[in-house]
Structure 1
Amino acid sequence: MKPMPGPGPVLRSPLGLAHAVTALLAVVIVADVTHFGAAAYMRSVMGDVASGGAGDVDMGAVDRADTAVASSSLLYLIGVVGTATLFIIWFHRVRHNAEVFAPDTQRRTPGWAIGGWFIPLANLWIPRGIAQDVLRASQPDPYASELRHHRLLNAWWGMWIASNLFDRLASEKYDAAEDPQAVHDAAGWLMAGSVLDLVSAVLALLFVRRLTAAQNAKAMAGPAFPPAPQHPAAGGPVPAAGGPVPGA
């Protein structure tokens, strides 16, 4: 006698996590704007220092600019750490739901939705592939040739990689700057990095909201069962097995 199969995975609502991630992404956006303003102030101050004489240097303005850059960088770091933590939890949740919607469209196990982010270099493509699979499973028709919102996924992922690489380059330039002109130029790089990161955060926010909405809509629509087959002996329909899938 074959053993009875155990209960399969059930849907778990991603709405609460999505709201929390959205709120933290808003904090990151505010931090980006603040950091842009601090870097612009530093650029202005260092421009004045570079073009003026030693007697024209306002050391108070230099100290204020330096404090502004350091404080905004700390705010950004706190926002990013908190957002990344909750985002990965949300990401694992929507991957778990994809196992209910269409498990045969998933190329990696749910654990990769967490572990894939921590593998150097491989984290540049593994999470995107998982996101693409989850996006497919969350469609009304998972087997459709066209993926809804795939352009948003590609835009967010490309901007996320670009902003991370640019931020590292800008930080290195700023840390290595030793004279006023070099600090002035490096502050411009910080400003550009803040803009790229802001765009990345906005795209991430939109992706979280749209994927969560897609999963919620599919869960609320309920399961779609094929027509009941005819019983070979009695000639009547056989009731479909299982019950409704819990809504998100």
Structure 2
Amino acid sequence: MLTLKNPNGLARAVVALLAGNILFDVLLGLFEVRWLMADAMPYTFDPAVFGQVDLNVASNMAFTLFTATAVVFIVWFHRLRKNAEVWAPDLQGRKPGWAIGGWFVPIANLWIPRGIAVDIWRASRWQPYAADGSRGLVLLNAWWACWVASWVVEKVGTRLYRHDDTPEAYDAAAAWALAYYALDAAAAVLAILVVRRLTSMQHAKAAGMIPAAQ
């Protein structure tokens, strides 16, 4: 028998981790700004607000935090997908396992998780079978568009860094990297809003439908 599971604790952890990612996006973006303004690679950054920070250390910490965020986010996402199965199984286009595996399919991960998120969103509404409305999925779509854009920009920037044998090439790579950090921070802000909204929707619906779900 399918049962509901509370996603609130996982949601709080995801929000905290996403906030940490935003801080690192800002910090690493400032490294790129300093490069573009000074024409010299700043391996340390020393404003009073951050203290002495090493670029390699900051990058490694950012990657570790990103990995932790991805793991916790996917666990939260899978839990919401399982809850959606309780309320509207016929609206779910993919099995619950895809809420995990869909993120790891090359190229297809640019649309599979978004489709699952839409199915979860619809099932989590008070009226799952109602029409989406003109603004029903605006927040979710904005988050996904930002995330895909950041992914594309990061890939371009990475390729440019591999061929940064001239100052001009490095300037171009740094500009793309700066654009990536800006988009990634925006995607993280929107992800926080999506996590809070979906978790709130499921919490409210569970409070009113637990007897029916049993």
Measured in 1, the distance between the counterparts of 2:136 and 2:21 equals: 23
- Residue deviations 1:176-216 (CA, integer Å, cap 9, x gap): 21233332332222111110111111111110110000000
Measured in 1, the distance between the counterparts of 2:88 and 2:154 equals: 37
Partner of residue 152, structure 1: 139
Structural RMSD (CA): 2.0
Partner of residue 180, structure 1: 167
Measured in 2, the distance between the counterparts of 1:105 and 1:97 equals: 12
Query: Partner amino acid for 1:135?
Result: W
Query: Partner amino acid for 1:123?
Result: N
Give the Å deviation of 1:62.
4.8
Match of 1:200 among 187, 192, 206: 187
- Please report the TM-score for the alignment, with normalisation by the length of structure 1: 0.77
- Please report the TM-score for the alignment, with normalisation by the length of structure 2: 0.88
Measured in 1, the distance between the counterparts of 2:42 and 2:142 equals: 38
Measured in 1, the distance between the counterparts of 2:59 and 2:123 equals: 38
Q: Would the aligned equivalents of 1:167 and 1:190 in 2 still touch at CA under 8 Å?
A: yes
User: Would the alpha carbon gap of residues 37 and 68 (structure 1) be closer, same or farther in structure 2, given more than 3 Å must change?
Assistant: farther
Partner of residue 170, structure 1: 157
Match of 1:222 among 187, 209, 212: 209
Match of 2:73 among 82, 87, 100: 87
Partner of residue 99, structure 1: 85
Partner of residue 237, structure 1: none
Measured in 2, the distance between the counterparts of 1:109 and 1:160 equals: 23
How many residue pairs get aligned? The number is 206
Give the 4+ runs in structure 1 shifted more than 4 A.
none
SS, match of residue 145 in structure 1: coil
Name whichever of 140-149 and 67-76 sits farther off: 67-76
Partner of residue 33, structure 1: 26
Match of 1:123 among 78, 92, 109: 109
Measured in 2, the distance between the counterparts of 1:214 and 1:64 equals: 44
Query: Partner amino acid for 2:63?
Result: L
Partner of residue 99, structure 2: 113
Q: Would the aligned equivalents of 2:21 and 2:66 in 1 still touch at CA under 8 Å?
A: yes
- Residue deviations 1:43-68 (CA, integer Å, cap 9, x gap): 2221xx6xxxxxxxxxxx75437x84
Name whichever of 78-87 and 11-20 sits farther off: 78-87
SS, match of residue 175 in structure 2: helix
Name whichever of 183-192 and 80-89 sits farther off: 183-192
Measured in 1, the distance between the counterparts of 2:94 and 2:178 equals: 38
Match of 1:136 among 118, 122, 130: 122
- Residue deviations 1:6-59 (CA, integer Å, cap 9, x gap): xx111000000000010110011001000111111122221xx6xxxxxxxxxx
Q: Would the aligned equivalents of 2:160 and 2:173 in 1 still touch at CA under 8 Å?
A: yes
Q: Would the aligned equivalents of 1:39 and 1:187 in 2 still touch at CA under 8 Å?
A: yes
Q: Would the aligned equivalents of 1:44 and 1:184 in 2 still touch at CA under 8 Å?
A: no
The answer to whether 1:24 aligns with 2:21 is no
Gaps of 5+ in 1: 1-7, 50-60, 224-242
Measured in 2, the distance between the counterparts of 1:114 and 1:178 equals: 39
Rg (Cα) greater in structure: 1
Query: Partner amino acid for 1:23?
Result: A
